[in-house]
Structure 1
Amino acid sequence: MFPLPRRLAAIVLAVLIPLAGSSPAAASSFAWTASWTASPQRPSASFAPNWSEQGFANQTIRQVVRAGAGGELTRVRLSNAYGSTPLKVAGATVARTASGAAIRRESLRHLTAKGARAFTIAPGRELATDAVPLRLAALESVTVTLYLMATTGPATFHAQALATSYRAAGDHRSDAGATAFTQTSQSWYYLSGVDVAGGPSRRDGVVAFGDSITDGAGSSADANNRYPDQLAERLAAAGRPRAVLNQGIAGNRMTVDSAWFGDKAVDRFRRDVLGQPNVGTVIIQLGINDIGISEVAAAPPFPILAPYPDVSAEQVVAGHRELIRAARAKGLRVIGATLTPIKGSAYHTGRSEAKRDAINAWIRTSGAYDAVVDLDRALASPDDPDRLAPAYDSGDHLHPSDAGYQAMAAAVDLADLR
């Protein structure tokens, strides 16, 4: 089939969008691609102040994210995964970002669910809005605004966004300017995905699945310098733009659930990776918290990371094998990432280093993965391979700097991505 000219395509979409809003069958006929994602977490105090435990009442939240894949149509996914009561959304909009909390007025679209501007999300559920005709380009910033009139109770959120979210009193979902948005946070609330359709329909999305080193801890806020962001930029520069979906959670462990740092990876993998539309590859970077927290449980402030069992290298490897099996069953290409250097950090002891070496040796040599990205060697100091190179160290000897995340993205062989 020949592609439609852009003007004719716009006319066709203008006819189809109203149908999609009133018919679930019509809406599901679009070939959706996940363009941006964040992994939902339980409400918690986390390491920085946030609004998750208090929730919202007669307030508007405005959140800015960067699209990975482009398309002619847009929809938004909202999560009430950890809510104890129904989430009532009085209204929501999506628009191209201008700067900060300001949007480009001409691009404003009101979001609906089954044709209604007000909708409810049951506890434990996620909702995808109807399609709207908003064209997004790869690596373009998009702003999602939610008006929450009724009291929400504690909010499902993503703790370490490393991006500024904005809050205003009252209903400001349609504001083009930023004046009303006087409060800020460094977390995302309820927002779990932005999807696009009407662009190239290929199963080539990449999920980066991991902990804080995937989530981007230590990188500059509002700069999109996390390693998945920089990998997306590499792909775009190579003429192969596609989504690189960040499904990292700071503190996350392969084998242990945490009220602060997410369900264990082997449990959340189905939702956060296998549940994403048009994904072809997953890069798995996990295990450093399992072995590191085992060593520091008694030292402040680490008791907040409870529970903290002694996790063996063999248990971490078993978790990797479980994720590989689940991904292959869904036809995904699976890439293993070695655990990065930790010497000088609170995680480092002789025992944790021995576990890290054993896990990395298995990732490199077992043949269990379709490919390996050796982040350990990419970030290691030439003078001490157990330590981050100074230029790649954010300062805590555990999390990379912006330059370190760039080196991680550069270590991925683009030919290994489906």
Structure 2
Amino acid sequence: MTTKTFALALPLAALVAATAASPAPAAHPAPWHSAWNASQQAPAHTTWYPNWSEGGFDNHSVRQTIRVGAEGSELRVRLSNAFGTTPLRLTGATVARSAGGAAVQPDTVRPLRFKGSGAATVPTGGELSSDPVALPVRAFEQLTVTFYFQGATGPATFHNVAMTTSYRATGDHLGDPAADAFSEAGFSWYYLAGVDVKNLRPGGPGGGRGAVVAFGDSLTDGYGATPGADRRYPDELAERLASQGRPRTVLNAGIGGNKVLGDSECFGESALARFRRDALGRPDVATVVVLEGTNDIVMPDGPADHCTTPSPEVTAAEIIAGHRQLIREARTRGVRVIGATIPPYHGFEHWTERGEKVRKAVNEWIRTSGAYDGVADFDRVLAAPVDPAHPEAVAIKQEYAFGDRIHLNDAGYRAMAEAVDLNSL
């Protein structure tokens, strides 16, 4: 949504692999494990949330920080040109441990190579993995990836709501440990699709029974959480699993503003269109948690613009049919799928009785139909009556609500993570 409108707004601020890892010895395979992920979007103009996607980069270094969810002795970085209209020419790239902001720890800077070369070309619509990098990483450690584009990239494939700061500098600053040159700041990730690790320690953080994917909209992307603090609900869920001695990588496949049934110029392809790539695309995915539907319900009741149009009113039956399709796709891949109920949004400026009826009907189906392998009942945990005399009218509990009354604060996202039955995963 927009700052004034939708729950997936962002105020402030199968995959085509171009290369593959070398085959592991058959007797002792050492597979790659997903450690971090971001769902990709087409370049978009969003007046309430400025970004660099439409203009792209030209003689720019772009420095981006992420938090990995698994440990390993080696890593590789994945780049995406999923929405590019021409091949993406990367002049060079590095990875390092973050030193805060745009600074990195000097002794950890490692060049990224692609089939032995420092430069690479990512095909139009494709993805590219770097060669293995000998940089040991720990679960929940922050890494910084820097790309340098000597020539013009054109519009950039990106992820809109990073909920952390990315930086841009003119010229080649790949190996520069200091932050000084990176004078421009933004709040999205560009071309950065994922990080994988190898040689997991058995039982170590992230080394459990396959990755969990949190698939959804801005409530999964974490809008409303403290920027840069990694307090989205998937972050909290990963930490909870580790603290319980049940470590699993939790991959965030949220896109702010995303809908089950409709594509958006600003909020990504529909859940139906992107589920196979974003939720099921990694080979180590074992479980997906689906939290989708808020924007299908809310956007028809707000103002129309290039981001929200078209947004026809949809019925609960139509949203449920979309969820059933996601379940079928997950089952076809042998992936366990958990349904999450849609949190309340009474008090949000575009709340309507029509929307509330649809939300409750979808939630009742998620809870009682048995269609999902399990249920994460976020609605029940987050909701409180607006008026004791009318218990049917519910809103997000005050202690969990972000200012717009449709997103959550840090405590609210922590409550979501605590509502997930770990046995259901």
Question: Taking structure 1 as the reference length, what is the TM-score of the superposition?
Answer: 0.91
Give the corresponding residue for 1:346: 349
CA RMSD across the alignment: 1.8
* Residue from 266, 290, 296 that aligns with 1:284: 290
Aligned partner of residue 160 in structure 1, secondary structure: coil
Mean Cα displacement is larger for which, 281-290 or 377-386?
377-386
Matched, 1:36 2:42: no
Q: Is the 2:20–2:129 contact (alpha carbons within 8 Å) kept by the matching residues of 1? A: no
Supply the distance in 2 between the matched residues of 1:134 and 1:196 (Cα, whole angstroms).
10
Q: Is the 2:83–2:125 contact (alpha carbons within 8 Å) kept by the matching residues of 1? A: yes
Supply the distance in 2 between the matched residues of 1:312 and 1:196 (Cα, whole angstroms).
43
Q: Which amino acid in 2 is paired with 1:147?
A: Y
Deviations 1:172-213 (A, max 9, x none): 111112121111101101001011111046542110000011
Supply the distance in 2 between the matched residues of 1:22 and 1:388 (Cα, whole angstroms).
45
Supply the distance in 2 between the matched residues of 1:172 and 1:58 (Cα, whole angstroms).
10
Q: Which amino acid in 2 is paired with 1:131?
A: P
Matched, 1:389 2:397: yes
Q: Which amino acid in 2 is paired with 1:334?
A: V
**Structure with the bigger percentage of helix:** 1
Supply the distance in 2 between the matched residues of 1:416 and 1:395 (Cα, whole angstroms).
32
Cα deviation, residue 22, structure 1: 11
Cα deviation, residue 99, structure 1: 1.4
Q: Which amino acid in 1 is paired with 2:281?
A: G
Q: Is the 1:24–1:114 contact (alpha carbons within 8 Å) kept by the matching residues of 2? A: no
Supply the distance in 2 between the matched residues of 1:116 and 1:370 (Cα, whole angstroms).
45
Mean Cα displacement is larger for which, 194-203 or 93-102?
194-203
Supply the distance in 1 between the matched residues of 2:260 and 2:414 (Cα, whole angstroms).
25
Give the corresponding residue for 1:323: 326
Supply the distance in 2 between the matched residues of 1:255 and 1:22 (Cα, whole angstroms).
33
Q: Is the 2:214–2:290 contact (alpha carbons within 8 Å) kept by the matching residues of 1? A: yes
Mean Cα displacement is larger for which, 330-339 or 198-207?
198-207
Cα deviation, residue 406, structure 1: 0.8
Give the corresponding residue for 1:411: 419
Give the corresponding residue for 1:242: 248
Supply the distance in 2 between the matched residues of 1:56 and 1:26 (Cα, whole angstroms).
36
Aligned partner of residue 274 in structure 2, secondary structure: helix
Supply the distance in 1 between the matched residues of 2:81 and 2:183 (Cα, whole angstroms).
25
Aligned partner of residue 132 in structure 2, secondary structure: coil
Q: Is the 1:78–1:190 contact (alpha carbons within 8 Å) kept by the matching residues of 2? A: yes
1:258-269 matched pairs, under 5 angstroms? 258-269=264-275
Give the corresponding residue for 1:400: 408
Give the corresponding residue for 2:59: 58
Give the corresponding residue for 2:16: none
Q: Is the 1:67–1:140 contact (alpha carbons within 8 Å) kept by the matching residues of 2? A: yes
Cα deviation, residue 382, structure 1: 4.7
Give the corresponding residue for 1:164: 165
Supply the distance in 1 between the matched residues of 2:394 and 2:124 (Cα, whole angstroms).
44
Q: Residue 27 and residue 251 in structure 1: after superposition, are their counterparts in 2 closer, same or farther (change >3 A)?
A: farther
Q: Is the 1:59–1:168 contact (alpha carbons within 8 Å) kept by the matching residues of 2? A: yes
Q: Is the 1:230–1:406 contact (alpha carbons within 8 Å) kept by the matching residues of 2? A: yes
Give the corresponding residue for 1:378: 381
Supply the distance in 2 between the matched residues of 1:320 and 1:27 (Cα, whole angstroms).
40
Cα deviation, residue 276, structure 1: 1.5
Unaligned stretches of 5+ in structure 2? 1-18, 388-392
Aligned partner of residue 77 in structure 1, secondary structure: strand
Aligned partner of residue 288 in structure 2, secondary structure: strand
Q: Which amino acid in 1 is paired with 2:323?
A: H
Give the corresponding residue for 2:365: 362
Supply the distance in 2 between the matched residues of 1:144 and 1:308 (Cα, whole angstroms).
37
Supply the distance in 2 between the matched residues of 1:42 and 1:143 (Cα, whole angstroms).
23
Percent of residue pairs bearing the same amino acid type: 52
Q: Residue 23 and residue 198 in structure 1: after superposition, are their counterparts in 2 closer, same or farther (change >3 A)?
A: closer
1:205-284 matched pairs, under 5 angstroms? 205-284=211-290
Q: Which amino acid in 2 is paired with 1:113?
A: F
Q: Is the 2:290–2:337 contact (alpha carbons within 8 Å) kept by the matching residues of 1? A: yes
Cα deviation, residue 24, structure 1: 4.2
Cα deviation, residue 312, structure 1: 1.3
Deviations 1:249-308 (A, max 9, x none): 00000000111000010110111011123111100000110111122245xxx5641111
* Residue from 301, 309, 326 that aligns with 1:306: 309
Q: Which amino acid in 1 is paired with 2:347?
A: G
Supply the distance in 2 between the matched residues of 1:278 and 1:70 (Cα, whole angstroms).
15
Deviations 1:21-46 (A, max 9, x none): 99844599641111111110111122
Supply the distance in 1 between the matched residues of 2:21 and 2:268 (Cα, whole angstroms).
35
* Residue from 335, 338, 352 that aligns with 1:335: 338
Give the corresponding residue for 1:140: 141
Aligned partner of residue 99 in structure 2, secondary structure: strand
Q: Is the 2:265–2:307 contact (alpha carbons within 8 Å) kept by the matching residues of 1? A: no
Supply the distance in 2 between the matched residues of 1:383 and 1:260 (Cα, whole angstroms).
32
Supply the distance in 1 between the matched residues of 2:236 and 2:45 (Cα, whole angstroms).
29
1:23-102 matched pairs, under 5 angstroms? 24-25=22-23, 30-46=30-46, 47-102=48-103
Q: Is the 2:216–2:258 contact (alpha carbons within 8 Å) kept by the matching residues of 1? A: yes
Give the corresponding residue for 2:13: none
1:12-31 matched pairs, under 5 angstroms? 24-25=22-23, 30-31=30-31
